[in-house]
Amino acid sequence: MTDGVAERSRPRDRILETAQDMFHKHGIKGVGVDAITEAAGTNKMTLYRHFESKDELIIECLRATAAKASRIWDEFEAQHPGDKLAQLHAWVQKASQLLSADSRGCDMANAAVELTETDHPARRVIKELKEAQREKLVALCRDAGIGQAELLADTLSLLLEGARVSMQSVGAEGPSAQFVRMAESLIASFRAR
């Protein structure tokens, strides 16, 4: 009969959620564990009882973010059951919404930029998660009946990745503003082949 209120959830969950949010907003190196625990309404010792190090917490945050993103793909399937082309357009739409709603880009890409040590434990996790996302998009393009599915998927990936990082440097009025137009005409052009 545990109380379901978010504010009174288990400390581990609060830490994970708060850390995700703060890493996203201020960057990984821009947030200390003390700040996280304080914002999560707990303390450092409790954090280190649940996560063996800050690096481990970072990895768990990335996994959680990826899992959240993965759930969006389920929405596509639910909204357009079986219609893979419609799901691809929904993907473009969703990407555009993300661009409008948030100017801090992709957590995994940002983490890769910040964590420059080539042997950092988070790097292989980032690579794995990004590869999984790539394969999902390739499969969607292929199932939508597009011939060069890999090429379209990769192009769309780069466009979105570029848009998300471009927003952070030039701002929302820069090249990223044209993302939807670019993506849609790309899809049309690939379908025409």
**Which residue, 123, 110, 126, 127, is CA-closest to 30?**
110
Q: How far is the CB of 58 from DNA (least distance, A)?
A: 9
Distance of alpha carbon 168 from alpha carbon 105, whole angstroms: 7
Q: How far is the CB of 3 from DNA (least distance, A)?
A: 8
By the 10 Å C-beta count (0-12 exposed, 13-18 middle, 19+ buried), 23 is classed as buried
Residue 8: which of DNA, a copy of itself, none does it interact with, CB under 5 to 8 A by kind? none
Residue closer to a copy of itself (CB basis): 75 or 170: 170
- Tell me which stretch binds DNA (CB under 7 A): 16-24, 40-48, 120-128, 135-143: 40-48
What is the residue type of 35? Answer: A
148 binds DNA (CB under 7 A): no
Single out the residue of 30, 32, 145, 147 in contact with a copy of itself (rule: CB under 8 A). 30
Distance of alpha carbon 115 from alpha carbon 112, whole angstroms: 5
* C-alpha gyration radius of the chain: 19
Residue 169: which of a copy of itself, DNA, none does it interact with, CB under 5 to 8 A by kind? a copy of itself
Helix-helix angle 84-101:54-79, to 10 degrees = 130
Residue closer to DNA (CB basis): 53 or 79: 53
131 binds a copy of itself (CB under 8 A): yes
Q: The tokens of 147 are what?
A: 């011939």
Positions that interact with DNA (CB under 7 A): 10-12, 31-35, 41-46, 48-50, 52-55
